[in-house]
Amino acid sequence: MPRAENLKDAYNNLYVEPLKKAQEFKEFYVERPDSASSPIGELKDRIEISNRKEKYLFLGFRGSGKSTELNRLEAALDEDRFLIVNYSIREDLNMSDFDFKEFFVSMALKIYDMARSESIPIQQDIEKDFQEFIKRVTKVTEEEFTSITSGGISWSQIILLKINREAKTREYLRTELDLKISDLILRLNWLILDIEDKSGKQIVVIVDDLDKLTRGQQSEDFFYKNYGLLVQPDCFIVYTFPIPLAFHPSYESVRQAFNWDVVLLQIPVKDRQGNEDPEGIEFYRQVVLRRMNQDLLEDKILEKAIVSTGKLSEFVEIMRDSSLNAFRMRRKQIIEDDVEIALDKLRTMYDRTLTEAHKKKLLEIHSCHEARDEGPDSTIIRELLFSLSAVEYKDREGRWCEIDPLLMPLAEKWRKSQ
């Protein structure tokens, strides 16, 4: 999409989706500043030089650009050396009823599909054994299997669809795999071995959106109870990880099972002492200036929106709302009032939504720049991080936590009412 030259186009350009295509990267990607640089370069290097099939956790706040960075990783890896399976669990699995058993079935099927689409022949016995195992655990009959394969849709896609749509298939699969999960992982590893051997390339699996498991219990079960299984497939795997869970006391044991945990933090617009960070501000400026002409903005209003939000997605959202406000007032430029109105509206909404316990905890974070739950049963910090009311930043001096800059003007009011 070309850079907007009027407010209507600006409004429509200011929707931020993860960048995927080369053209999009060329037009919209803004290099992160050195102080909070992208970890993708290092991740790529690790994959390229490691002799072991490493497993990585990729952490980041929602809207911080994880999917974009993972797409960059896919593009950066040498395709003569690696076979990339980059997928989102949202595509095929039922996120409201999600279990690690379906997760491994889906990973196996994605790898199998990749081999088929790359025309890599799988050894006949391995393929047959894999198909029969999957049919057995999903209760797909021979007749169904035949009708599926003659229908032009790949059988793996149909099985994923059945798992996604049919509660009874999920239930059956879970019972079947209860004692056979190691059988599934064994077959998965056979597939990997055979494909890597035939292609002469190494498989890299990138699993996006695992951090989108919305129910805390669901993601805790997935990562805390099953992390031992997540490292068993015999290929490189990058797992996205819900950052709020990293603030849980159990995280340390999870982290140690993986080779590296990569964190993509929000780029700060102020340091922990409250001084503005020119590098961070410039990064955010460029994100918007790649999407709209500077003439559409009154002087200094971008900076105002940046320091008042301090988070990528929220900043873009405020600029989008401001462009709508300005367009509606028949202006040619976004002025300070438009930004103020958008900020006030969002701030008021959050003020109404937060509970007294949330506000108390946010005041604590604001004063000590740390966010830790008091114990495994306490969930307030995770809720605040999940909703981005609290944010973790990183600069040259390390990491620290702060409340959402948008909420800063409310902190004083909350303090008085405590």
Partner 1 sequence: MAQISIDDLDEVELMLTELEISKGKGNLVICVVASPAYRSKIIQLIQDRFSTKITQIEDGDTLIYDLKGKKLEGVDVSLWIFPESLPNDIIEALNNFREFFYQAGIPSIVFLSPSALHQAISLAPDFWRYRGGFHVLKGDETGKAYQAVEALSTPLSMSYQSKEELLRRKRINEYLLEKIKDKKDMSNSLSELGSIHLLLAEPRKAIEYYEQALKISREIGDRRGEGSDLGNLGSAYSHLGEPRKAIQYYEQALKISREIGDRRGEGNHLGNLGLAYSDLGEPRKAIQYYEQALKISREIGDRRGEGNRLGKLGIAFYGLSRRQEAIKSMEDAVKIFEQIESPNLISAKKTLAKWKEAETPK
23 with 227: CB under 8 angstroms?
no
Residue whose C-alpha is closest to residue 148's, from 166, 129, 137, 135: 135
Residue whose C-alpha is closest to residue 10's, from 318, 343, 299: 318
Least distance CB 69 / partner 1 (angstroms): 17
Q: Pick one of 50, 175, 214, 294: the residue that binds partner 1 (CB under 8 A).
A: 214
Q: Report the residue number, 204 or 324, with the smaller CB distance to partner 1.
A: 324
Q: Pick one of 5, 8, 41, 294: the residue that binds partner 1 (CB under 8 A).
A: 8
Least distance CB 7 / partner 1 (angstroms): 8
Q: Pick one of 161, 224, 387, 408: the residue that binds partner 1 (CB under 8 A).
A: 387
Least distance CB 402 / partner 1 (angstroms): 18
Residue type, 81: R
- Residue 328 as a binder of partner 1 (CB under 8 A): the answer is yes
- Residue 95 as a binder of partner 1 (CB under 8 A): the answer is yes
- Residue 102 as a binder of partner 1 (CB under 8 A): the answer is no
Q: Report the residue number, 115 or 318, with the smaller CB distance to partner 1.
A: 318
Q: Pick one of 3, 62, 135, 360: the residue that binds partner 1 (CB under 8 A).
A: 62
List C-alpha distances in Å: 172 to 73, 102, 138, 140, 178: 36, 11, 7, 11, 10
Q: Pick one of 130, 241, 386, 414: the residue that binds partner 1 (CB under 8 A).
A: 386
233 with 188: CB under 8 angstroms?
yes
- Residue 332 as a binder of partner 1 (CB under 8 A): the answer is no
Least distance CB 90 / partner 1 (angstroms): 5
Candidates 69-77, 90-98, 146-154, 248-256 — which segment interacts with partner 1 by CB under 8 A?
A: 90-98
Q: Pick one of 102, 321, 338, 404: the residue that binds partner 1 (CB under 8 A).
A: 321
Q: To 5 degrees, how large is the angle CA 216–CA 261–CA 282?
A: 95
Least distance CB 124 / partner 1 (angstroms): 36
Least distance CB 15 / partner 1 (angstroms): 7
Least distance CB 16 / partner 1 (angstroms): 8
- Residue 309 as a binder of partner 1 (CB under 8 A): the answer is no
- Residue 123 as a binder of partner 1 (CB under 8 A): the answer is no
- Residue 388 as a binder of partner 1 (CB under 8 A): the answer is yes
Secondary structure of the chain in the HEC alphabet?
Answer: CCCECCHHHHHHHCCCCCCCCHHHHHHHCCCCCHHHCCCHHHHHHHHHHCCCCCEEEEEECCCCCHHHHHHHHHHHCCCCCEEEEEEEHHHHCCCCCCCHHHHHHHHHHHHHHHHHHCCCCCCHHHHHHHHHHHHHHHCCCHHHHHHHHHCCCCHHHHHHHHHHHCHHHHHHHHHHHCCCHHHHHHHHHHHHHHHHHHHCCEEEEEEECHHHCCCHHHHHHHHHHHHHHHCCCCCEEEEEEEHHHHHCCCHHHHHHHCCEEEEECECCCECCCCCECHHHHHHHHHHHHCCECHHHECCCHHHHHHHHHCCHHHHHHHHHHHHHHHHHCCCCCECHHHHHHHHHHHHHHHHHHCCHHHHHHHHHHHHHCCCCCCCCCCCHHHHHHHCCCEEEEEECCEEEEEECHHHHHHHHHHHHHC
Least distance CB 388 / partner 1 (angstroms): 7
How many residues line the site for partner 1 (CB under 8 A)? 34
- Residue 13 as a binder of partner 1 (CB under 8 A): the answer is no
Least distance CB 38 / partner 1 (angstroms): 21
- Residue 327 as a binder of partner 1 (CB under 8 A): the answer is yes
Least distance CB 209 / partner 1 (angstroms): 8
Q: Report the residue number, 137 or 406, with the smaller CB distance to partner 1.
A: 406
Rg (CA), the chain: 24
Binding characters for partner 1, 340-359, by CB under 8 A (x = yes): -----x---xx-xx------
Candidates 41-49, 151-159, 176-184, 379-387 — which segment interacts with partner 1 by CB under 8 A?
A: 379-387
In the complex, which residues of this chain contact partner 1 (CB under 8 A)? 8, 11-12, 15-17, 62-63, 90, 95-96, 165, 209, 212, 214-215, 313-314, 317, 320-321, 324-325, 327-328, 345, 349-350, 352-353, 383, 386-388
